[in-house]
Structure 1
Amino acid sequence: MCPIWPLHLIILYILALCPLWVLCQSAPNLIATFLPDEISVNMDEYHYVNVTIQGPGMQAGDQFTLSTTNEHLAEAKWNSTDQLTEDHVQKNLFEGKVRVSGKFLGRTNVEVKTWRAGQAFPVNGTLPVIVLRPERVIDTIFVTSVATFVSLIFINFGCAMHWPTVKDVLRRPIGPLIGMCGQFLFMPLMSFGLGFAIFPNDPAMRLGMFFTGVAPGGGASNIWTFILGGNLNLSLAMTSISTLASFGFMPMWLFSLGQVVFRNAHIVVPYQRIATFVIGLLVPLGIGLGMQKWTPKIAKFMVRILKGFSTTLLLFIIIFAIVTNLYIFELFTWQIVVAGMGIPWLGYSFGYFLAWLCRQPHADSLAISIETGIQNTGIAIFLLRYALEQPEADLTTVVPVSCAIMTPVPMTCIYIYQKVKACFVNRGKHKKMLEEDISPRGDSPQPAIISTADLYGKSNKGLDVIDVKPDVENSGVHPTGVSVAN
């Protein structure tokens, strides 16, 4: 046994730790201080920050490098020298300037490291960076133009509305009641459960889904109902009732299940935004109804151009929205795509199935289905802007944006199917008409061929035949058929 046991174990540990202790003594112990200590920078823009590094262990020739925890969001570069000199070592102080460039939405940190003889040593202190989306002129143009065109389209709807039919709908509100069950019962519960299934560890994204599910029906539902041949009067009545009912149903869901989704969110119900939407819906409808009464000729013209104008408006909104928000596609993942498809598509299916169970006609079932599936994503985005700070507010709007992009897909497929089917049906009818014109009809009378024997013989009994005597003298032909020589 070793005579110094167990002291030899302690000696071995000390000998092993001595090189590490020497290295630690030679490593710099530096602290970086940034001014300002936190910055917000817009995408594709940059911001300058002053940095001060001080502490013992500096050596001439040491080099500072910059990096961000997420290079996709922001980039940091020196705008001054990044190498220590003897003057820095004597003062134990380094001062420089950093240029931080925003690349994409999100939060990241700028970190500093010291490089010495090919080895990196971390510097204490980081700079939090928030990258935001700038307010652009094209966004204002898009919102203004869409609001103007939607107002015009609702004037057209007012011209096309048949008020006695709307009164009948309100007297027997079976369709609106079915739509409200789908809009304010199924959609919130479905978006709540689907959000937990798709984003189990991301409460902000779940909040984005839930806000989309509790929003009232969108104005595009009336346009699609008209284009696809649904009951427009029922759709307009349901949209008006749904929007008015949202004043009560939205706060109920937001302050119940909304608190479960995201307990720390300071939710503010946008009553002013909803009221503006109601006014923006009812005033153009009233103008259209007035045009029916006082300017019937102009109203008829507005109805004639309604379908083409509606289709053009939908294409304009879809294309312009994609062009102005191209950046949002970088946030798309399979979860975002599934969430965008699930909210409207499940709403379409449930609305039509519930209407079918209640034995509603196809035109009414189609209107109820579209009204249930199409959500007012603008109100959902507005709610997120109030409930969350930036950039989380912009990041979570990817859910209602995805929903808005996926919403018209089934409707577009149905529209194309209707057009293709109509082409084949019309082609078949045209072909059948041609065949009927060419082929003889069995019930049509055939021209009778009467022989000479029937005219002059005894076989024509029962027929009143005019006695026609041929001019033998001039014809030179005997009645028996033998020619007579002059």
Structure 2
Amino acid sequence: MGDTKKNRGLQILSLLLILRLRGASSDLAGDWLVDYGQQELKLLEGESEQVPLHIYNVIPKDSELDYYFLVYSGDEGRASSQLKIPKEDFDLVGSWRGLVDVTGLRFGYSSLEVELHSGAEVEPYANPLRIAVLRSRVVDERVTTYVSAALALLMFLNLGTVLDMQRLAGIICRPVGPVVGVASRFVLMPALGFGLGRGLWPDAWAMQLALFYTALAPSGGLANVCAVFLKGNINLSVATTTINCLLALAFLPLWILVLGRLLYEDDELAVPFGQLSGGAAALVACLAIGVLLRLCVPRTTRFIFRFLKPLSVVLSLCLVGLTVGLNWFVFMEFTWQVLVAAVCLPLAGYLATYLLSKLLCRSATDALTLSIEASVLNMTMPIVLLQSSQLEQPQLDLVLVVPIASSLLSLVLVILFYGVRRCLGWNKRQDADGFDHKELIAEHEEHEGDIYQRP
């Protein structure tokens, strides 16, 4: 490990020396240099600052050479700066000092570039000043986390009232379905996310990390709602979600440790154990409350039975709308790589999980349910994981587009799938484990009638 760090240090030193030499060497004006007075400039959106700039050691080989220096922003969409320094402004020893106005426009990274111009010839300085533009209006991340968690828990409370304890016990006693769900979530999906990230962003480790967290995070209540609409096995769906959320406390640190060694060598990534464990405990508690309501207060749950789908849709829209509304700025960073990742990850997860389910002789309903569980991507947990990582602003804001876009497009794909099934008449209950809310209402009313007829 010590030799590795030493070799890395020598490589970095050599690279800096090469860049320094490139920045210093010049065919037109000698070994001219630039001093910015700082390593990095940080600005808020809309904020302007004057940067002290010193260009020195400008010694033209030809005293009659006509030249000027141009100072500008490397990305005019992120930051704005423009200054032309003519030859006459330099003193006798080839030095110029002054202030350069820089204005932050949009969050992200830019650079302050310095170029020597002489006729058609241009000599850029190899070490520009890095500019980091931060968002000026930032909503406290706890608002998003807590409100999203509250909506998700209401969703699980809603779903807990429709669980069949007898079938749920059968799933737990013969947990082939949940095992497929666990293998898909913590083996297949991370492998797909890691491979896609490496292929789409070979030089951007932060984007790779965002896609990996998106693939690794358990699906949450949105997958359970999709299973309701697609006539899946809601008992298997909820059981798999719950088990995955609990096992995430073990698999997340394990995967993050492996990922840290691959991408960061000996650096460490933080795991928010408190938020993860609290969320898992709250999920189980809400499901238990829902089951108790069904068993102890059947008249209250009759309303949920009749309006399960509308309630699920409203809660899902609130959850998605809140996250997207508070993070709307990320869509300015939407690129074709993000589109490919957001479409390919859920599609590949669905197909791989469905194939694995059929290889293990799962029914069509169970295979559909487990595939939905894998392909409907979580939006909130990857954001929490990224916020707990070593990413600094504005890099964190730049990578949030990956989990948000992936989650939204995975839902769009499910909606399209549902529409096709409805149009072709395929969206029907295929076996006894398939969910049918009309049959559930009939069974509930029949059960209540038996209770009222007893002497």
Q: Deviations over 1:96-123 (max 9, x none)?
A: 4333222344433213456789987767
Query: Contact between 2:379 and 2:407, CA under 8 Å: does it hold in 1?
Result: yes
TM-score (normalised: structure 1): 0.69
Contact 1:29–1:55 (CA under 8 A) maintained in structure 2: yes
Percent sequence identity over aligned pairs: 28
Match of 1:465 in 2: none
Distance in 1, Cα, partners of 2:127 & 2:196: 40
Matches within 5 A, 1:307-386: 307-385=309-387, 386=389
Structure 1 counterpart of 2:79: 74
Aligned residue number for residue 297 of structure 2? 295
Deviation at 1:145, TM superposition (A): 4.0
Written as runs of structure 1 = structure 2, the 5 A alignment for 1:384-403 is: 384-385=386-387, 386-403=389-406
Secondary structure, counterpart of 1:420 in structure 2: helix
Displacement of 1:336 in angstroms is 2.2
Q: Identify which of 411, 414, 419 aligns with 2:417.
A: 414
Could you tell me whether the CA contact under 8 Å between 2:189 and 2:216 is conserved in 1?
yes
Q: Deviations over 1:194-217 (max 9, x none)?
A: 333434444443333333333233
Cα separation, 2, equivalents of 1:26 and 1:250:
56
Q: Which residue of 2 aligns with 1:238?
A: 240
RMSD: 3.7
Question: What is the aligned partner in structure 2 of residue 285 from structure 1?
Answer: 287
Tell me which of 181, 184, 191 is aligned to 1:182: 184
Give me the whole-angstrom Cα distance separating, in 1, the residues matched to 2:336 and 2:126: 38
- TM-score, normalising length: structure 2: 0.74
**1:169–1:116 CA distance, 2 compared to 1 (3 A):** closer
What does the per-residue CA deviation read over 1:47-97, in whole Å, with 9 as the maximum and x for residues that have no partner? 3433345556699x986542122333322246xx967888x7489765543
Contact 1:206 1:261 in 2 (8 A): no
Judging changes above 3 Å, is the alpha-carbon distance between structure 1 residues 423 and 125 closer, same or farther for their aligned structure 2 residues? Answer: closer
How far apart, in 2, do the equivalents of 1:195 and 1:423 lie? 35
C-alpha displacement of 1:268: 1.9
1:176 shift after superposition? 0.8
| Larger CA deviation: 267-276 vs 371-380 | 371-380
SS of the aligned residue for 2:161 comes to: helix
Contact preservation (8 Å) 1:54, 1:94: yes
Q: Give the secondary structure class of the aligned counterpart of 2:81.
A: strand
Change (3 A) 1:395 1:167: same
C-alpha change, 1:302 and 1:193, in structure 2 (3 Å) is same
Mapped partners of 1:160, 1:52: distance in 2: 71
Deviations 1:115-166 (A, max 9, x none): 7899877679743212234452397665554333222222211222222322
- 1:303 to 1:50, Cα distance in 2 relative to 1, 3 A: farther
What is the alpha-carbon distance in structure 2 between the residues aligned to residue 415 and residue 120 of structure 1?
A: 58
Match of 1:219 in 2: 221
Q: Match of 1:253?
A: 255
Mapped contact 2:107–2:135 kept (Cα < 8 A): yes
| 2:257–2:268 CA contact under 8 A, matched in 1 | no
Q: In the TM superposition, what is the alpha-carbon distance from 1:355 to its structure 2 partner?
A: 2.3
SS in 2 for 1:137: coil
Residues 1:124 and 1:265: Cα distance change in structure 2 (over 3 Å): closer
Q: 1:180 to 1:49 in 2, by over 3 A?
A: same
Give the secondary-structure state (helix, strand or coil) at the position aligned to 1:51: strand
CA distance in 2, matches of 1:281, 1:56: 67
| Superposed counterparts of 1:125-204, under 5 Å | 126-134=128-136, 136-137=138-139, 142-204=144-206
* Residues 410 and 116 (structure 1), Cα distance of their counterparts in 2 relative to 1, 3 Å cut: closer
In 2, the alpha carbon distance for the partners of 1:28 and 1:198 equals: 41
State how far apart, in whole Å, the 1-side matches of 2:275 and 2:234 are. 25
Asked if structure 1 preserves the Cα contact closer than 8 Å seen for 2:230 and 2:418, the reply is yes
Q: Which residue of 1 aligns with 2:49?
A: 47
**Cα deviation 1:271-305 (Å, max 9, x = unaligned):** 22311321331232233233334433222213322
SS in 2 for 1:407: helix
- The Cα of 1:239 is off from its aligned counterpart by 0.9
Give the 3-state SS of the residue equivalent to 1:101 in structure 2.
strand
The residue aligned with 1:267 is 269
Could you tell me how far 1:362 is from its partner in structure 2? 3.1
Cα distance, 1:44–1:271 mapped onto 2, change above 3 Å: same
Alignment-derived partner of residue 207 in structure 2: 205
Offset at residue 242 of structure 1 (A): 0.8
Quote how far apart the aligned CAs of 1:248 are: 1.8
Task: Report if aligned partners of 1:138, 1:324 keep a CA contact under 8 Å in 2.
Answer: no
SS in 1 for 2:36: strand
Query: How far does the alpha carbon of each residue in 1:366-416 deviate from its partner, in whole angstroms, 9 at most, with x for none?
Result: 221111223434333333341434444333333323321221122101222
Structure with greater contact order relative to length (CA < 8 Å, sep ≥ 6): 2
Cα distance in 2 for partners of 1:319, 1:217 equals: 17
Opposite residue 342 of structure 1, the aligned amino acid is C
Whether the 8 Å CA contact 1:107–1:128 is kept in 2: the answer is yes
* Higher CA-based Rg: 1
Mapped to 2, the partners of 1:84 and 1:201 lie a distance apart of 39
Letter in 1 for 2:75: N
Residue-by-residue CA offset, 1:241-273 (whole Å, 9 max, x unaligned): 111112222222222355224436532222223
Letter aligned with residue 244 of structure 2:
S
Query: Runs of 5+ in structure 1 lacking a partner?
Result: 1-23, 426-486
- The worse-fitting range, judged by mean Cα deviation, of 41-50 and 157-166 is 41-50
User: Structure 1 residues 218, 71: CA separation in 2 closer, same or farther (over 3 Å shift)?
Assistant: same
The residue type paired with residue 360 of structure 1 is: R
Structure 1 residue 240, shift from structure 2 partner:
1.0
Give, in whole Å, the separation in 2 of the partners of 1:318 and 1:210. Answer: 20
Using a 3 Å threshold, how does the CA distance of structure 1 residues 56 and 408 change in structure 2: closer, same or farther? Answer: closer
Equivalent pair of 1:30/1:124 in contact (CA under 8 Å): no
